[in-house]
Amino acid sequence: MDHVPIIFPSESEFANPIDYLSEPGIQRLGRHYGMVKLIPPANFKPPFCINRDTFKFHVRVQNLSVLNILNRCRLFFVKQLNNYNRASSGKNNANDKTLLNPYVKLSTGETVYLYDLFIEILKYFNDGENSENDNTNHNKKRSRNLQRIIHFPALQEIGRDNRLWKYISHRFGMDSKRLQEIFSDYIANYYEYLASQTKNRGSQYFSKLLYQEEYPKSLLSDDDVSEEEENSEDSEEEDEGCAVCNRNTKPTKMILCDSCDKPFHIFCLSPPLDSIPKGDWICNNCIIGNGYYGFREETHRYSLDEFQSLWNNGEKSLTADPSTGEPLSIEQLEEKFWQYVDEMENTLTVKYGADVHGEGPGEISGFPSKDYKPPDSKTKCSDQDFENYTKHPMNLLNLPDAKGSLLPMFDRKISGMTVPWIYVGSTFSTFCWHLEDQYTLSANYQHEGAPKIWYSIPEESCDRFNQLMKELAPDLFEKQPDLLHQLVTLISPYDARFKKSGVKCFKAVQQPNEYIITFPKCYHAGFNSGYNFNEAVNFTLDSWVPYGMEAVADYKLTGKYCVFDMFELMLNVVIESLHQKSKFQRSLVENCFREVRTILNTNVKTIEQLLSSVLSKKFLLGRTIRDEFAYRRKGNLVTQDKQYSQHQQQERGSDDDEDFDVFCTRCKTICSLAFVLHYKNGSNRKRRKIQSMTPTQLNELASSNNSELEILCLDDYVKLVNDSDIDDQRTLVKGSEEDIDPFENDELNYVRDFDEVYHILNIAGKSLLGWT
């Protein structure tokens, strides 16, 4: 595998990193390879400035083989099968059909994974279903571009479709009769259950058969939970309400799922039950599978010395040749790591201190800062050099605010983006395939330790990679649309399917005192070859803005929350340019101006249509913390040149738990300009002072399971209105004998003053761009 290029900036280039990385030559490298390795000038050797006495961190426990996307799907599927069999057979013989393995071993020695057989059958009937011309012929070459499973043919149809079994026989390379027997013996009843569920619910989508979980539990939850953690979980669950409505009323009408132990009202189920059934009862999320998986985090907090000692104890068995005792090469470590990931029988678990965000001096970053200086014997540099390091733009405490970066336009910290997160690695601890939040650039610096191995998929291969992963596990993406944003999924770049897909991939080996720079829409993953200490932040270039807008559109499709509001950023660029015309490139200001104007005009047009046809109430939200920053910016009270200490960076803005934006309940997008408060049952019985609520309060109110209202972005509200038949909607209005317009009490709420935004654009058009 080819390595990413290494760049060697001069001292002057290194002192102006945004300008240097914006150079056309560097940009071309970034687009082609996805990332570059940056080696600083020889005299840049910042001392490691973590306070070893106070810095402590939690670790994630990573079961490597479960991170493989196919392994996880296969394990999910056998759990789902067992739950179905258990619920179907009753308590007396619940274990009769328990499957111990996710596969069937044939007398010939061949292995058939049950999930693989199940999903290939569904792919056969669903390939091409999403194309505009639905005339797919099974004789034609299969499209292999399955996006969603939307068709469950009858069980009888599967049994008598000779073309299907000829295709399946070809895919598995074995006799079709034996494959049919395996399907009939192990899968057929479960398949028929799924088909009947989709038919009864009037939906072919897996996701429509599941209830929404605020705190989902994985079917693959770790069994080796410590007693302390178990007691903590038990205490949290004591007052747990119904998983559907979130209320803990009517306890005699509650039933516990015998798989996940979550409580449900029998009348909240779909379809509802008249009484509590005898025997085992298992919820849909455990039979159909919610697809959720996450790392278990230990409650214990490690010091660096303790974690290094833990790593030293098991390091040799993983990184040395068992016959010679010699250290393994990087290539040998790669081969061994991917074996642990790919082979399901491997049960290696590792620990990773990931996404660590400290709070006190010497805990936020390993770079020199004004707040903490280690004892002189450890710094090995003069006071003047130390001070210079605290101010250097490639100190990751400073890079997000460096000259030319756009992130300072928010005037507040964004943990993990503008404030570094720390990563303490151990042998084979891993970071899974992902894109950076809102497709920003990132910089990762290694302070000390063993090499970190990176893999990079550049922008041009993003779509192919997405297609490959969805092709491998279409049902998983149906249940977890934002799966590749969750950092829990791997496939080896050396896998035959990966290579066949045409996805480009490159490699980097990062050593101490080296940076890895990732560019927009670069999928990346990797692992640590031993103990190491890294930290990372995000930053932007002018060329990033279109990617930021693309991320907003992509996130709406998968229901991922944006980290910040692109509209706010672009509006602030325009405002700041009014104060300092030379601050940004004219092309950037023009792009931001056009995007803001387009978004504003589109919103105005939609609102006019809604006010003329559906909505009758409109309000303006009270001023928020975000608005305070905006008013200060317009008064030119905040400038990009201000220096912040670690503590001041932590104080900019409010807590991480405080929302600055209002999110759409459905698509999770930020409502930058306005939103509609939709009352689900048509009536507004509880009068709330919505306009005085903070974004956090509004989001919490709308997101609770038993909420009577939704916050909808304008697009989703228009879709709701267009998809709704008034007569049908009236039947959903509970507790009313009279017909009620289901949209009568809905309220339009302005997040920003439209006239004020237009005023800013008018001034900017004339002053900056010379437009009339």
Per residue in 722-756, pLDDT (tens digit) is: 887 644 444 444 444 456 678 888 989 999 989 99
Nearest to 441 by CA among 297, 529, 554, 545: 545
Q: Which amino acid is at 107?
A: S
Question: Residue 548: pLDDT above 60?
Answer: yes
- Name 390's bridge partners: none
Q: Which amino acid is at 399?
A: L
Residue-wise pLDDT for 135-183, tens only, equals 344 443 344 444 556 678 889 889 899 999 999 999 999 999 999 999 9
Question: Residue 233: pLDDT above 80?
Answer: no
Average pLDDT over residues 273-280: 88
Gap between the Cα atoms of 371 and 361, Å rounded: 5
**Cα dihedral 475, 481, 482, 488 in deg (nearest 10):** -10
Average pLDDT over residues 638-654: 41
Distance of CA 435 to the CA centre of its chain: 9
Q: How confident is the model at residue 650 (pLDDT cuts 50, 70, 90)?
A: very low
222-226, 402-406, 506-510: least confident range: 222-226
Predicted model pTM: 0.89
Reported as half-sphere exposure (CB side, CA atoms, 13 A), residue 36 has a value of 20
Q: How confident is the model at residue 97 (pLDDT cuts 50, 70, 90)?
A: confident
Q: Is the peptide bond before 271 cis (omega within 30 degrees of 0)?
A: yes
- pLDDT at position 613 is 87
Question: Residue 641: pLDDT above 50?
Answer: no
| Dihedral (CA of 289, 293, 297, 298) sign | positive
Q: Does 438 or 768 have the greater pLDDT score? A: 438
Question: Residue 389: pLDDT above 60?
Answer: yes
Average pLDDT over residues 237-245: 75
Question: Residue 18: pLDDT above 60?
Answer: yes
Q: How confident is the model at residue 637 (pLDDT cuts 50, 70, 90)?
A: very low
Q: State the distance between the two ends of the chain, measured CA to CA, in whole angstroms.
A: 55
- pLDDT at position 143 is 40
Of 641-650, 697-706, 740-749, where does the model show the most confidence?
740-749
Average pLDDT over residues 102-124: 93
- pLDDT at position 241 is 85
What percent of the chain stands above pLDDT 90?
Answer: 62
Reported as half-sphere exposure (CB side, CA atoms, 13 A), residue 711 has a value of 27
Alpha-carbon distances of 168 from 162, 174, 609, rounded to whole Å: 10, 9, 52
H or E stretch including 26?
helix 24-33
Edge-to-edge, what's the strand order for the sheet holding 523-528?
430-434, 523-528, 452-457, 506-510
Residue-wise pLDDT for 52-77, tens only, equals 999 999 999 999 999 999 999 999 99
Buried b (16+ CB within 10 A) or exposed e, 381-420: eeeebbeebbebbbbbbbbbbbebbbbbbbbbbbbbbbbb
- pLDDT at position 686 is 60
Average pLDDT over residues 427-442: 97
Question: Residue 520: pLDDT above 90?
Answer: yes
Average pLDDT over residues 414-422: 87
Average pLDDT over residues 447-452: 97
Average pLDDT, the chain: 86
- pLDDT at position 656 is 55
By the 10 Å C-beta count (0-12 exposed, 13-18 middle, 19+ buried), 469 is classed as buried
What percent of the chain stands above pLDDT 70?
Answer: 84
Q: Give the phi and the psi of residue 751 in degrees, each rounded to 5.
A: -85, -35
Question: Residue 626: pLDDT above 90?
Answer: no
Instruction: Please give the DSSP secondary-structure letter assigned to residue 352.
Output: E
Question: Residue 234: pLDDT above 90?
Answer: no
- pLDDT at position 601 is 97
Average pLDDT over residues 235-244: 69
Of 206-215, 289-298, 374-383, where does the model show the most confidence?
289-298
Q: Does 244 or 610 have the greater pLDDT score? A: 610
Q: Which amino acid is at 592?
A: C
Asked if 624 and 577 touch (Cβ cutoff 8 Å), the reply is no
- Name 60's bridge partners: 297, 352
Q: Does 707 or 344 have the greater pLDDT score? A: 344
Asked if 89 and 97 touch (Cβ cutoff 8 Å), the reply is yes
Q: Does 301 or 691 have the greater pLDDT score? A: 301
Edge-to-edge, what's the strand order for the sheet holding 747-750?
617-620, 747-750, 674-679, 709-712
Q: How confident is the model at residue 312 (pLDDT cuts 50, 70, 90)?
A: confident
Average pLDDT over residues 501-515: 98
- pLDDT at position 238 is 56
19-28, 157-166, 236-245, 287-296: least confident range: 236-245
Question: Residue 319: pLDDT above 70?
Answer: yes
Average pLDDT over residues 81-107: 81
Domains of the chain, first to last: 37-59+298-458+504-515+523-554 (2.60.120.650), 75-209 (no CATH), 227-280 (3.30.40.10), 566-767 (no CATH)
Gap between the Cα atoms of 563 and 567, Å rounded: 12
Question: Residue 655: pLDDT above 70?
Answer: no
